């Protein structure tokens, strides 16, 4: 006799999504300050669309322990980071991708009418994300909050609003030394440049190929 085993709902295939249709129907819902929508969030991989008609308006820097994969579907963006004690800007143009190492403070700058896809992993129960602001022109912390991340699109806005209402924002003066909790140390890996996705996979022969191999293992079937 054949025994049928019920497959847990979490293991069933996720719903299919036509990206162009979703973008057309929901572009106006991607609104500042974050302009972020979580497409898939109930598994280990978190998939987000970010951008929209108005871009975003962010001065904060996000820090998490895991890597993030940025892929620009439409238009260009700029990823501002703090790396090796310095501010740096990395352009990511339409059709390009960038794998950001964990532990790198980053501030995605989305231009109007641009759309990007962002992949992150689920956070472990003990992990905290950080949202940081710096004293202008320096890498000295001005304000910071930590939180356990489940949906950036909904969790960042209240933190940003609290910063905008804070005395740190109005005076550009941080709290007394020692009040700000430093993030757990996650030594950032090598910070590369964005690469042309089509150019990287276009010359691959028939078969399954690894395109990225780090915390994210990204394969392409040709």
Digit-coded pLDDT (tens) for 118-146: 999 999 999 999 999 999 999 999 999 99
Digit-coded pLDDT (tens) for 2-17: 344 443 444 444 667 7
Look at residues 71, 215, 62 and name the one whose alpha carbon lies nearest to residue 152: 62
Q: What is the pLDDT of residue 2?
A: 39
Q: What is the pLDDT of residue 202?
A: 60
Q: What is the pLDDT of residue 190?
A: 58
Which range has the worst mean pLDDT, 28-42, 78-92, 107-121? 28-42
Does the predicted model carry a pTM greater than 0.85? no
Average pLDDT of the segment spanning 213-218: 56
106/64 Cα distance (integer angstroms): 9
pLDDT band at 200 (very low <50, low <70, confident <90, very high): low
Average pLDDT of the segment spanning 65-91: 92
**Could you count the other beta carbons within 10 Å of the beta carbon of residue 199?**
10
pLDDT band at 39 (very low <50, low <70, confident <90, very high): confident
Residue recorded with tokens 């005076």: 171
């Amino acid at each position: 006799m054949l025994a049928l085993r019920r497959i847990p709902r979490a293991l069933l295939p996720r719903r299919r999504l036509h990206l162009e249709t979703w973008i057309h129907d929901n572009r106006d819902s991607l609104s500042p300050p974050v302009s972020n929508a979580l497409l898939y969030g109930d598994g280990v991989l978190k998939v987000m669309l970010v951008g929209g008609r108005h871009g975003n308006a962010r001065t904060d820097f996000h820090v998490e322990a895991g890597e993030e994969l940025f892929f620009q579907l439409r238009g260009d963006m700029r990823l501002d980071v703090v790396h090796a004690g310095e501010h740096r800007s990395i352009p990511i143009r339409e059709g390009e991708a960038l794998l950001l190492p964990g532990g790198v403070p980053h501030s995605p700058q989305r231009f109007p009418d641009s759309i990007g896809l962002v992949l992150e992993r689920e956070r472990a129960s003990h992990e905290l994300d950080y949202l940081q602001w710096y004293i202008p022109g320096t890498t000295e912390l001005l304000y910071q909050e930590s939180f356990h991340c489940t949906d950036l699109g909904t969790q960042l806005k209240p933190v940003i609003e609290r910063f905008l209402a804070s005395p740190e924002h109005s005076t550009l003066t941080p709290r007394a030394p020692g009040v700000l909790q430093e993030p757990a140390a996650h030594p950032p890996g090598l910070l590369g440049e964005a690469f042309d996705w089509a150019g990287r996979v276009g010359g691959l022969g028939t078969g399954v190929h690894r395109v990225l191999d780090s915390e994210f293992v990204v394969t392409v079937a040709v």
